[in-house]
Amino acid sequence: MNLTKEQIKSDYQKKLISLFAEDLEESSVLHQYIALAELVKEYSFERWMKTNKRYKKEGTKQIYYFSMEFLLGKLLENNLINLGIKEVVREALDDLGIRLEELENVEREAGLGNGGLGRLAACFLDSMAALSIAGHGNGIRYKYGLFKQKIRDGYQVEMPDDWLRHGYPWEIRRIDKSVIVKFGGYVYFTNENGRFTAKHEGYEEVLAVPYDVPIIGYGTETVNTLRLWSAEVKSRDFDFESFSAGEYTKAVEHKYSVESISQVLYPDDTTEKGKLLRLKQEYFFVSAGVQSIMRTFKKSGRSIYDFHKYVAIHINDTHPALAVAELMRILVDEEYLSWEDAWEITTKTMAYTNHTIMSEALEKWPVDMMKKLLPRIYTIIEEINRRFCQELMDRYNNDWNKVDRMAIISGGWVKMANLAIVGSHSVNGVSKLHTDILKYQELKDFHEYYPGKFNNKTNGITHRRWLIKANPELTNLISEAIGCDFLKNPRELINLEKYKDDKSFLDRLEKVKYNNKLKFADYMKKTQGIKIDPNSIFDVQAKRLHAYKRQLLNILHVINLYNEFLDNPNMDLLPHTFIFSAKAAPGYYLAKKIIKLINSVGEKINNDIRVNDRIKVVFAENYNVSLAEKLIPSAEVSEQISTASKEASGTGNMKFMMNGAITLGTLDGANVEIYEEVGDENIIIFGMTSEEVINYYKNGGYHSWDLYYQDRRLTRILNELDDGYFAPRGEFKEIFNHLLTYNDEFFVLKDFASYCDAHKKINELYKDRFRWNRMSLINIAHSGRFSSDNTILEYAKDIWFK
């Protein structure tokens, strides 16, 4: 954008007045931030409008990414970077005596996601806009995002994330684009003019109001749209009917019940709980999204039979899988298409990404619940299922077991993954390994039935947020060395490789890392009052807390180091800071105990003067996008230690790599591809392979008690857990039981020895600063392969524009 400093200064001051009737002197930092955000949004408006006009005029195929979660993070700085006006805005503000950083600090991040899946959706939006692909998001405008985490006495405490309290300057409420979503009621079938017709009556109407957020492309004129739906009562329902009857409280209750649909993001990404409100949320944003797409499409005047040529709908995990049935409903009930025609259009429109093989997280809904809440949708799913099962019976000679496994409705449940697979033309996993596990294990039946439907799209991350924004010093160093092409095309990072033996360059790389460590140490001091030694190794595990991600393995190793160090204070051990950051689902008991264990171990070690800061354990509270942007650039060791086969891909692993951390990991998810990319000497791999893990599962696991008796280190650690060494006796009973009584489902004890060896290797390698920095540089140089721009180009080529 061509904006001068003077122009910005004048626009900005006018904005303050028009919004708040204040000048600079009187305004608070909050108002100064809001005014700047509003101004930046306004700067994007012309491009936004032009983008939409261009799409319309050129008849561009529109991609809609349906996702229950979009973990956007803060937008101010990214939008400034993407518009190319960050520096000139900074200068303008400087002139006015305002520091840009100070305004950035008051922004509340949009935390509308749990973890990897939601952040991936946000990276994809950023990439689609940067690549000028007409790709838009469709989701829910939760009033409360993922809870805020506090640590009290070592325990996690959850607090509501009231992110909209001061308003959200990046959105536009578009009441004129609202649609009605219908819940409940009953369905009957009639013969209308010779056509078998479904009638849906007695339903409740909910108003879906869209809030649009501009998604500004970097280095292009493209501005796409993220549309987030909010549930409201129709004004008629609230104001007149109940009011005039004098039923004020009833009206208010009704209003709350309707609004509850978009009130809160479900914070449990571990177990599927079959909650009615969750099902309401799913249908709510799916129905609103599909209706609004159809409305736009109809305005184009094109034939409905060409719908799939102009529209692609991407289903992010099974959460939006009802889109299959909703599009069928509209095509059959409202557009009067035959079932066969509607089905062809629907399957050609839909594509589905699977993000987990953890069976507890696979969504299924009780038939009775769905029938009651979504009677018409249920009859459609029934018919899809009936036809599908018929095909299966023909093909498999009435092999009932197989048909039952693959059926969409079975045993009183509606299985959402099966619906998504049957209703889509493409099913993809999110890393090579994950896709293979889907094809040859988890979804084997489907892969055999639909060869060619399955494909891999390894995840990626946007370097605009995770390098340019999060790590400006590193970005500058790289630009000095290889020029600025990598800003536009992150694959160019590979050119850094030519510095891999350049001692003076590697020293500068080390210095950048050191400065980022200082910054993070400073942040921890300010926010949690914790002192960290910037000369210690920053060993970081930051991600959601899940048993399969094995934060437990990490902390058991820390305990072991502590034990060994107390036995032998002369042992060869560089100063280490073990940094953990993780939220546990509020109802996930074991995960919360592991947080408590990390904090209890930290408490003991950090206060033991014998250890003399050789080992320090730190828990960084409230892991979210903003914290990740500070923490990741400071990391030297990236802990990616999930039980092999369990982590579908991981994306944190890629972020750490791009910022020069060395991966300490298992051959799981995208770690496998990182390993292939950087080579054996530039990554530390340990533990069982996915094949070994899967074989153990097939044979009923292993005997963890044996290891407890055999490995003296484990005997001691587990006894310490049990006997009150770190916290009053009984506190860690469940962890002890999980590992021994319940046979260590995730092979923590089994991988322990190999993990300890890997750490020894790290300790050795780190002493050779040249060697370590060389590894770091090679990781950065190869990280372009994991840019979400690549990933999106593959989705476009193989799925959306095939």
- Active site (annotated) includes residue 759: no
Q: Tell the residue number behind the tokens 């259009």, with chain if given.
A: 345
The count of residues interacting with ligand 26V (CB under 6 A) is 22
Q: Which of 418, 651, 666, 783 binds ligand 26V (CB under 6 A)?
A: 651
- For residue 361, state whether it binds ligand 26V (rule: CB under 6 A): yes
- Active site (annotated) includes residue 651: yes
Q: Least separation, in Å, of the C-beta of 473 and ligand 26V?
A: 27
By the 8 A CB rule, do 347 and 427 touch? no
Rounded to whole angstroms, the Cα distance separating 785 from 791 reads: 9
Among the listed ranges 299-307, 571-579, 644-652, 657-665, the one in contact with ligand 26V (CB under 6 A) is 644-652
- For residue 688, state whether it binds ligand 26V (rule: CB under 6 A): no
Structure tokens at 785: 């392969």
Q: Which of 212, 647, 751, 789 binds ligand 26V (CB under 6 A)?
A: 647
In the complex with ligand 26V, the residue whose CB is nearer, 139 or 602, is 139
Q: Which of 210, 320, 665, 669 binds ligand 26V (CB under 6 A)?
A: 669
Q: Least separation, in Å, of the C-beta of 649 and ligand 26V?
A: 4
In the complex with ligand 26V, the residue whose CB is nearer, 217 or 650, is 650
- Residue tagged active-site, from 544, 557, 750, 785: 544
Query: Position 751: which residue type?
Result: D
- For residue 673, state whether it binds ligand 26V (rule: CB under 6 A): no
Phi/psi region, residue 21 (left: phi>0; alpha: psi -120 to 50; beta: rest), is left
C-alpha gyration radius of the chain: 27
Rounded to whole angstroms, the Cα distance separating 233 from 599 reads: 45
**One symbol per residue from 551 to 590: x for binding ligand 26V (CB under 6 A), - otherwise; what is it?**
----------------------------------------
Among the listed ranges 123-131, 596-604, 646-654, 764-772, the one in contact with ligand 26V (CB under 6 A) is 646-654
Q: Least separation, in Å, of the C-beta of 117 and ligand 26V?
A: 3
Residue 482's nearest CA partner among 466, 499, 468 is 499
- Active site (annotated) includes residue 655: yes
- Residue tagged active-site, from 200, 280, 319, 543: 543
**One symbol per residue from 22 to 61: x for binding ligand 26V (CB under 6 A), - otherwise; what is it?**
----------------------------------------
Cα torsion 633, 637, 640, 643 to 10°: value is: -160
In the complex with ligand 26V, the residue whose CB is nearer, 286 or 430, is 430
- Residue tagged active-site, from 469, 549, 583, 782: 549
Q: Least separation, in Å, of the C-beta of 230 and ligand 26V?
A: 20
Rounded to whole angstroms, the Cα distance separating 110 from 112 reads: 6
By the 8 A CB rule, do 720 and 559 touch? yes
By the 8 A CB rule, do 775 and 681 touch? yes
Q: Which of positions 223-282 make contact with ligand 26V (CB under 6 A)?
A: 266, 268-269, 272
625 contact partners, CB below 8 Å, separation of at least 6: 71, 72, 73, 74, 109, 111, 119
- For residue 16, state whether it binds ligand 26V (rule: CB under 6 A): no
- For residue 356, state whether it binds ligand 26V (rule: CB under 6 A): yes
Q: Measuring CA to CA, how many Å separate 770 from each of 361, 475, 502, 505, 766?
A: 44, 21, 9, 10, 9
Among the listed ranges 97-105, 114-122, 322-330, 674-682, the one in contact with ligand 26V (CB under 6 A) is 114-122
Q: Least separation, in Å, of the C-beta of 497 and ligand 26V?
A: 27
Q: Which of 128, 207, 288, 430 binds ligand 26V (CB under 6 A)?
A: 430
In the complex with ligand 26V, the residue whose CB is nearer, 27 or 456, is 456
- For residue 355, state whether it binds ligand 26V (rule: CB under 6 A): yes
Rounded to whole angstroms, the Cα distance separating 171 from 20 reads: 18
- For residue 649, state whether it binds ligand 26V (rule: CB under 6 A): yes
Give the count of beta carbons closer than 10 Å to the beta carbon of residue 525.
12
DSSP-derived letter for residue 793 is H
Q: Least separation, in Å, of the C-beta of 642 and ligand 26V?
A: 8
Phi, psi of 157 (to 5 degrees): -125, 135
Q: Measuring CA to CA, how many Å separate 291 from each of 69, 326, 327?
A: 20, 9, 8
Phi, psi of 396 (to 5 degrees): -105, 25
- Residue tagged active-site, from 651, 663, 666, 791: 651
Q: Least separation, in Å, of the C-beta of 692 and ligand 26V?
A: 20
Rounded to whole angstroms, the Cα distance separating 582 from 673 reads: 24
- For residue 146, state whether it binds ligand 26V (rule: CB under 6 A): no
- For residue 116, state whether it binds ligand 26V (rule: CB under 6 A): yes
- For residue 120, state whether it binds ligand 26V (rule: CB under 6 A): yes
Q: Closest residue (Cβ) to ligand 26V?
A: 116
- Active site (annotated) includes residue 549: yes
- Active site (annotated) includes residue 355: yes
Beta strands per DSSP E along 527-645: 537-542, 576-581, 615-619, 637-640
- Residue tagged active-site, from 355, 364, 457, 750: 355
What b/e string do you get for 137-175 counting C-beta neighbours within 10 Å, with b at 16 or more? bbbbbbbbbbbbbebeebebebeebebeeeebbbbeeee
Catalytic residues: 355, 543-544, 549, 651, 655
Residues forming the site for ligand 26V (CB under 6 A): 114-117, 120, 266, 268-269, 272, 317, 355-356, 361, 363, 430, 459, 647-651, 669
